[in-house]
Chains A and B, each alone.
Chain A
Amino acid sequence: MATIIEGIGLNKQFGIGDAAVAAINSVDIQIEEGELVMIMGDSGCGKTTLISLLGCILTPDSGELKIDEQVIDPENQDLSVIRREKIGFVFQLFHLLPYLTALENVMVAMDITKTNTSESEKRAKELLTRVGLSERLDHRPAQLSGGEKQRVSFARALANRPKIIFADEPTANLDSRQSDNMMNLIQEIRQEQNTTIAIVTHHEGLKENADRVIHMKDGRIITS
């Protein structure tokens, strides 16, 4: 298996002087292609910061990051290109655009990559059907349940066939049944598409789905 994410000596600090918080402290991490990794740890230990770094949303203060064998150089590179071409995100609070239907919310991701409309509509329909929402295409986020919203958001993350998906507490706002449904769906998709998936969670019960669990404490990885 090839290594798809490789971080060496990553550091990220927020604030300066006395108020400085070392959110990520000398972290080395490797994730293999197709792996399903869970990142766990107490609140505030740096999980979100870590996947933001790996997902090219934040830039590290120091350290080196390679995604899909490409060294990331935030100084000379537009990171939004990497985000839209290689990465999909699922957020705890779904973050669907309230003025768009489920279908359009998925299509937005492909609007960003300038996919033509008929093609993106076709793919969005396929994806929403795949996540079990073929009956909900024209519903707005306000008309969907939390579980449904998270599935739309997952479909959006898949839209541009990313190699990696990062999900930050994707089930934290779902009840246990919705949460199980979501995890099953993630598993299925991973098997179908060999997508690499990193999930931040504090649900001990989800561990059994993972290939590997990374535990964090105070900005460091303690076991992986």
Chain B
Amino acid sequence: MNTLFLKDMRYRRTRVILTSVGITVLVSLILLLGGIMHGMRIQAQQYVKSTGADIWISAEGSGGAFIGFSLLIEENMAPLNTAPDLETGSVSPLIFAQARPLIRGKSTKAIVVGYMADKLGGPTGVVEGKMFKSSKFKDYRPEDPVPDEVIVDEKMGVQIGEQITIGTDTLKVVGKTKSLMFVLDTPLLFMDVRVAQKVLLGNYPRVNMMIAKSKPSTIPGKTDQAITIAANLDASDAIEARTVKQTLDDIIGYYVDEPMKAVQFLRVMLWLASGLLIGMITYVTMLEKTQEIGVLKAIGGSNQYVMSLLLKQVAIISVIGVSIGFCLSYIFAAAAPIFVAINFTESIIVAAISIIVCCGSGYLAARKAIAVDPMIAFRGEIDMGYTPQGETFAHSDA
């Protein structure tokens, strides 16, 4: 009769279902929050990774390319262009800055990415339309006209030929790139670095970062090569240089981990809540079952026997609740208005921890419950479930 606990659960199915639903909701929220943060991490990294640059340079004192205020001038490029550890000609000026363009009269969040067409920092190509006409950065004279063209993210819903206004300048959409959003679904607007300087910097010939590729295997034991190269460049007192890995860590810390601390905290609270929930429900259920537990003990059930009955129920409810919550989180993720990327492995770990938390708190409640005195079986005070009134004489005794 190893299905005793199942029969009990079927008998109290309303409570079992409600408990499972409670766990389901909490766990799916925990996983969804994890998915939101994971999604933010992916978006924080994807542009930087897509450039293929492994050395990121910003102005001295900026704290990193994506962190503090940084302006570099063209003169900063000269020593970099001749740096022996950098791939010849790979040094690329880049503007990456938040902006609020007007699209169809509506102010929208976006990031302006200004780069040189034949250098690093741009999209791999367009999925629709064409690339913008490029300027000659080196030959720049402030009075030269710049091509007022922009390439947008395919998911922005902007059509080729439409106009985007940034400040006092109006740009024409000439192409669409494969979607490559930054944190919180912020689309990138790719344009010539000259255009970016015009719309954001009042035509000043500045950029906020430069990116480059390190020369392969200039230094033996090349895994840490980028670190050494970056450190060498960083020694200059005009610039800061970091590897792509350091840069990604900076971005994740600055755009995801820091602002999401409260969410992390909330996740832990939700965990506690689910543990508390199952603990409380188990405990209340146990209070109702005091008599049954006492009877099982009176007729010879050991503490372990009763405990295993209770724990099997807690375990089943936890596993069901967590599993449904797991599936539900994917549905929530698909329906969410922002980019959510649930990481399967991480979710499995979170789900496993949730099961442990639930079982643990169920165990604590059960341990309290099995302390009942079997003597209770001789008493009837709290025996409301099956006192004979109304039943005893309902059938005659054959």
Q: Which of B1, B295, B385, B396 contacts A145 (CB 8 A)?
A: B396
Min CB gap B190→A, angstroms: 67
Question: In residues 107-162 of chain A, which contact B (Cβ within 8 Å)?
Answer: 107-113, 117, 120, 132, 141-142, 144-149, 156-157, 160
Contacts of B387 in A (CB 8 A): 93
Contact at B392–A146, with CB atoms within 8 Å? yes
> Does B141 have its Cβ within 8 Å of any Cβ on chain A?
no
> Does A217 have its Cβ within 8 Å of any Cβ on chain B?
no
Contacts of A211 in B (CB 8 A): none
> Does B277 have its Cβ within 8 Å of any Cβ on chain A?
no
In the assembled complex, the Cα of A107 lies from the Cα of B7 at a distance in Å of: 13
In the assembled complex, the Cα of A219 lies from the Cα of B145 at a distance in Å of: 112
Contact at A144–B375, with CB atoms within 8 Å? no
Contact with B along A180-222 (1 / 0, CB 8 A): 0100000000000000000000000000000000000000000
Interface size on A, residues (CB 8 A): 52
Contacts of B385 in A (CB 8 A): 98
Q: Which of B8-16, B162-170, B201-209 interfaces with chain A?
A: B8-16
Contacts of B303 in A (CB 8 A): 80
Contact at B386–A142, with CB atoms within 8 Å? yes
A112 in contact with B296 given A99-B10, A99-B11 (CB within 8 Å): yes
Contact with A along B52-89 (1 / 0, CB 8 A): 00000000000000000000000000000000000000
Contact at B1–A108, with CB atoms within 8 Å? yes
Contact at B378–A80, with CB atoms within 8 Å? no
> Does A48 have its Cβ within 8 Å of any Cβ on chain B?
yes
> Does B300 have its Cβ within 8 Å of any Cβ on chain A?
yes
Most buried by B among A108, A141, A160, A175: A108
Contact at B7–A48, with CB atoms within 8 Å? no
Contacts of A177 in B (CB 8 A): 397
A142 in contact with B299 given A108-B1, A117-B1 (CB within 8 Å): no
Contact at A80–B8, with CB atoms within 8 Å? no
> Does A21 have its Cβ within 8 Å of any Cβ on chain B?
no
> Does A174 have its Cβ within 8 Å of any Cβ on chain B?
yes
Min CB gap A110→B, angstroms: 8
Most buried by A among B8, B303, B386, B398: B386
Contacts of B295 in A (CB 8 A): 91, 95, 97
> Does A81 have its Cβ within 8 Å of any Cβ on chain B?
yes
Residue of A nearest to B4 (CB): A111
Contact at B299–A112, with CB atoms within 8 Å? yes
In the assembled complex, the Cα of A84 lies from the Cα of B305 at a distance in Å of: 12
Q: Show 19 residue pairs from A and B whose CB-CB distance is below 8 angstroms, ordered by the A residue.
A: A57-B374, A57-B377, A80-B300, A93-B386, A97-B292, A108-B1, A108-B299, A112-B300, A117-B1, A141-B386, A144-B395, A145-B392, A145-B396, A147-B392, A147-B397, A148-B395, A149-B386, A149-B392, A181-B397
